[in-house]
Structure formats: C-alpha cells, structure tokens
Amino acid sequence: MKVRYFAWMKRTVGVADEEISPPADVRTVGDLVTWLRNRSAGHAEALAEGAAFGAAVDQRTVTFDVPITGAREVAFFPPFTGG
Amino acid sequence: MKVRYFAWMKRTVGVADEEISPPADVRTVGDLVTWLRNRSAGHAEALAEGAAFGAAVDQRTVTFDVPITGAREVAFFPPFTGG
Amino acid sequence: MAVRVQEGDFDVGAELDRLTKGNRRIGGLAVFVGLVREMHVREGLHRDRIDALTLEHYPGMTEKALEDIEAEANRRWPLEATLIVHRYGRMEAGDRIVLVAVGSPHREAAFEACEFLVDWLKTKAPFWKLEETPAGEKWVGAHEGDDAAAARWEKKAQ
Amino acid sequence: MAVRVQEGDFDVGAELDRLTKGNRRIGGLAVFVGLVREMHVREGLHRDRIDALTLEHYPGMTEKALEDIEAEANRRWPLEATLIVHRYGRMEAGDRIVLVAVGSPHREAAFEACEFLVDWLKTKAPFWKLEETPAGEKWVGAHEGDDAAAARWEKKAQ
C-alpha cells in the first residue's frame, strides 16, 4: 500500500510517499494514523493527535473510520486552500 | 420642449419625437400625459389611462408628479426589457 | 469604472484583460455574459421559434442610467474594477448582448455586485426587446422575475 | 461538462467561446476568474508583501474532486455548460489561478451554480497554497470564511 503526504505534512514527514505493509489489525484510516506515528519523529509530528489534517483512500476524501482494506493508496493532507 | 416615444409607444403614436408647446397650466409629467392624449388617436391609445408606461425628464426616470418646468426633453416608454 | 453602449459585438477576453491589467489587488473577478437565447413561444395555435431580436434603446439616457447603476454598486461594495458593455440593434440566437464584470479583493463582493448590476440594468436601463417570430415582430413584455430580482437589492439598501 | 488541471495559463475569451459555441439555449453565462492578489501580512514586527505563491495539488484526485463538484452542480441546477480550469505551480500577483464558467437558460441558475462551484472547489479540491514572503515560504491556513461559504450549500441540499 502506498501512503502519500501533501503540503507541510510532506516536509514534516520528510518524504512525499512511501510503500508500507501494516499488520492485519490496522483496519481503518484512524488505525493507520496511529500505526504510522511510530515510524519516525517526523511522522509523529505530522500525524499528531489534534493536528488538523484529512485523508483520502484511493483519491476520495474519507473520514477516519473508513476501512483501508484493499486500498492501493492512502493520502494525508492539511485542509485544502485552493481556488 | 421635445417629447420622445420608444418601443411600441413610438409605433402607436406614429412619430419618434415631436416639438410641443403646452400651455402654462401643464405643470407635471402627469399633466403632460393628459394634454398629449388630445393630439391624436395614436397619442390617446399610447398614453391611455391604465397603460403601463414610464417617463423620463431630461433623460432621468421620474414619477408622474414631477414638474416639467424648464425641461428640454420628456420621454415616454414601456417597461424596460434589456439585459 | 466604465460603461459602453455599442452596436457591435465585444471581445470578452480582451475586455477582461484590459479591466484587470496592472491591478494586483483583484482576487476575484465575477463576470456575466448575456446571450440571445433561442426561444419557443406559443401564440394561439402557433408554436413560434424566436431566432433574432432587435434591442432599441434611448441614446444618452442609457449611458446615464448605466453609470448611475455602476456608481451605486461601487458605493455598496469595495470594488477595484467594474465594466458594463451593452449592445443595441439586431442580434441572433447565440449572440452576446451584455457583459458585466466586477473585480474585487474578495469573491463574495465581486459575485454580489455583479448580480446586482445585472438585476438593476434589466429594470433601470432604457432598453426594449423586439423579437422576430415567423408570425411577425413582437415587443417583449417586462418580466416579473426581473422586477423581483431587482427588488431584492432595494430592501438591502434600507 | 469539462474539468482541467494545468500548469500553464488559460485564455478566458477562448475558453468561453468554446464553451458556448453552437449552444443557442444559453441565456446567461456566469463566470468567475480567481487571481493571485498582492497581500500584506503582519508577522511579528514585520509587514510582508506576498508577491507569488505555489499551488501544490494531488494529481489524479484533483480531477476526480473537480468532476464530482461539477456533477453535483449539474444535478442541482438546469445547466447547459460548465467548465472548471484550475492551475497549479508557481504564480505571481495578477496571474489567473482558476476559471469557473456556467451557462444556463436563466441567469439565476448560472450565478448560483457558479458561486456554488467556487465555494466547493475551495474546500473540496486538493490544492494547497504556499506563499512566498520576503521572510520565506509559508503554507496558507484554511480560511474560515471558505468553510462557511461552502456550508451554505450543504444546508440547501437537505
């Protein structure tokens, strides 16, 4: 599974994307956030509890209770500021 | 004083504009309407009581109680349908 | 601020470029282009298609009325640029009739002022539409919806 | 219906001509052009002028998000033509960022749908603004007003 980071989260994590293989008990986006925090200090900071960020599974915005089973790509990003 | 007619009122009156010299007791736009009705059957029809038309004095929209004293140009027209 | 009444067509891209050029304070540009729409009207047993219309106006008064409307928009909203171009004469379905453009630092003001200008010019500028139907010419009656749309802004003025 | 995400500038006049060409049912075309606005921000003792920004986006998801938003507008209003062109990459003050255009038989629908599209794309399309200030780069925080503007339309959906 590919994880992608955008805007300041990308700078904080230190990579734009990475291939990961989380264990089977990482079922939802929220589970994945918790699991990713242990990968590095940058991950822990970018994905900190209380930080305002959103997620997409296979390029559709989702809430954190959505399962990631079978997903090819999960993305994390700060609130959108386009337009 | 010049009087101008627009849209279907112009066709009904039969002229686009005309020079007039109303008597001194024709003081307001409303007085002028009443006075103009006697000029021809076309005038009477175009300016009939109850017909929906507006007026301008010197190219500004006015209500019928506005005086015409000193006016160079009075215009009558149906409701606007531009845009 | 600019107002133009002309018989010929206008170039939307060129007009907007000219309007915003060199002004770096405009964040949002709201634009309206009014077009001649092909219409079908039922007149007794006939169903007529309207393919063209002629816009009559009151030269002199038209410019004054549009300038008044534009000035009013600039009083109500913090605008950086406003433009009204209105055509008169004969136009066919698909042709452009009117261009209204409003630039402001903020998009909300641009949208509101643009809608205000369109609503007001329909009820306060001396234009009259004469439609060509297969059965002959027909003057367009005032549209009640236009009066209602314009009236919205009267209330806000109080 | 069309959505485009591109690095280069767009030609507003040409885009609008292409959008409405041959469609004689469009009476009103409502357009929004978003521009990079020169801004002044106070950061501690400094007053910085922002002259340029870089728009990052999420290729693939951006197009999907814009198509979803466009489809929603077409469900809510009777529209004849819709177009969203959004740029990414580096832009300077005065540059165009986004074009939203909506054609409808009636101007009210065109205006409403255009405003809806602009509000929604600001909060639902994956773009992030990085501003260049003399003191360095700075990610733009989400604007509360944008959430409020987008929320208007959520209520209307019920």
Q: Return the bridge partners of D100, or none.
A: D32, D84
Could C108 and D29 be called an inter-chain contact, meaning their C-beta atoms sit closer than 8 Å? Answer: no
**Reduced to 3 DSSP states, what percent helix, strand and coil does chain D have, rounded to the nearest 5?**
35, 40, 25
Size of interface B-C (CB pairs under 8 A): 71
Disruptive mutation site among C96, C111, C129, C153 for chain D (greatest number of D CBs within 10 Å): C111
Say whether residue D35 is in contact with chain C using an 8 A CB cutoff: yes
Position D70 pLDDT exceeds 90: yes
Q: What is the pLDDT of residues B8-46, one digit of tens each?
A: 999 999 999 999 999 999 999 999 999 999 999 999 999
Q: Which chain D residues touch A77 with a CB distance below 8 Å?
A: 58, 126, 128
Position D22 pLDDT exceeds 50: yes
Could D64 and A60 be called an inter-chain contact, meaning their C-beta atoms sit closer than 8 Å? Answer: yes
Calculate how close chain A gets to D13, using CA atoms only, in Å: 20
Q: What is the pLDDT of residues C9-45, one digit of tens each?
A: 999 999 999 999 999 999 999 999 999 998 777 667 6
Contact yes or no for D91/A83 (Cβ under 8 A): no
Touch between chain D and chain C: 3 or more Cβ pairs under 8 Å = yes
Could A77 and D126 be called an inter-chain contact, meaning their C-beta atoms sit closer than 8 Å? Answer: yes
Calculate how close chain C gets to B59, using CA atoms only, in Å: 5
Q: Which of C34, C65, C140 is nearest residue B81 as measured by Cβ atoms?
A: C140
User: What mean pLDDT is predicted for residues C66-79?
Assistant: 98
Residue C48's pLDDT is 72
Question: To 10 degrees, what angle do helices D144-156 and D107-124 make?
Answer: 130
Say whether residue D97 is in contact with chain A using an 8 A CB cutoff: yes
Could C25 and D37 be called an inter-chain contact, meaning their C-beta atoms sit closer than 8 Å? Answer: yes
Which one is predicted more confidently, D132 or C61?
A: C61
- In the DSSP assignment, the letter for residue C60 is T
Could D37 and C105 be called an inter-chain contact, meaning their C-beta atoms sit closer than 8 Å? Answer: yes
Calculate how close chain C gets to B35, using CA atoms only, in Å: 23
Calculate how close chain D gets to A26, using CA atoms only, in Å: 24
Contact yes or no for D87/D98 (Cβ under 8 A): yes
The CA-based dihedral angle spanning residues C130, C133, C136, C142, taken in that order and rounded to the nearest 10 degrees: -30
Residue A82 has φ and ψ, to the nearest 5°, of: -85, -165
Question: Among A19-33, C106-120, D33-47, which stretch is predicted with the lowest mean pLDDT?
Answer: D33-47
Q: What is the pLDDT of residues D99-152, one digit of tens each?
A: 999 999 999 999 999 999 999 999 999 999 999 887 788 898 878 888 888 989
For chain C, positions 10-69, list CB contacts with chain B under 8 A: 34, 55-58, 60-61, 64-65
Domains in chain C, start-ordered, CATH in brackets? 2-157 (3.90.1170.40)
Residue of chain B nearest C68, judged by CA positions: B60
**ipTM, interface predicted TM-score of the complex:** 0.92
User: What mean pLDDT is predicted for residues C99-128?
Assistant: 97
Distance CA C111, CA C109 (A): 6
3-state secondary structure chain B: CEEEECHHHHHHHCCCEEECCCCCCCCEHHHHHHHHCCCCHHHHHHCCCCCCCEEEECCEEECCCCECCCCCEEEEECCCCCC
Touch between chain D and chain A: 3 or more Cβ pairs under 8 Å = yes
- Specify the DSSP element, H or E, that contains C148: helix C144-157
Residue B48 has φ and ψ, to the nearest 5°, of: -60, 150
Distance CA C13, CA B29 (A): 44
Size of interface A-D (CB pairs under 8 A): 71
Residues 6+ apart with CB under 8 A from D45: none
Burial of C35 (0-12, 13-18, 19+ CB in 10 A): buried
Give CA angle at B27 (B74, B64), nearest 5°: 60
Question: To 10 degrees, what angle do helices C144-157 and C107-124 make?
Answer: 120
| List of chains touching A (3+ CB pairs within 8 A) | D
Position C156 pLDDT exceeds 70: no
Task: For the full predicted model, state whether its pTM sits above 0.95.
Answer: no
Distance CA A75, CA A14 (A): 15
Q: How confident is the model at residue D156 (pLDDT cuts 50, 70, 90)?
A: low
Distance CA C5, CA C98 (A): 9
User: What mean pLDDT is predicted for residues A26-45?
Assistant: 97
Position C158 pLDDT exceeds 80: no
Size of interface C-D (CB pairs under 8 A): 102
Could B82 and C64 be called an inter-chain contact, meaning their C-beta atoms sit closer than 8 Å? Answer: no
Distance CA D133, CA D155 (A): 37
Residue C147's pLDDT is 86
Say whether residue C19 is in contact with chain D using an 8 A CB cutoff: no
Could B7 and C139 be called an inter-chain contact, meaning their C-beta atoms sit closer than 8 Å? Answer: yes
Strand order in the sheet with D127-133: D89-92, D52-57, D127-133, D136-139
Which one is predicted more confidently, D158 or D132?
A: D132
Provide the strand spans (E) within chain A.
Answer: 2-5, 17-19, 54-57, 60-62, 73-77
Place of tokens 């089973």: A69
Could D16 and C11 be called an inter-chain contact, meaning their C-beta atoms sit closer than 8 Å? Answer: no
Burial of A23 (0-12, 13-18, 19+ CB in 10 A): exposed
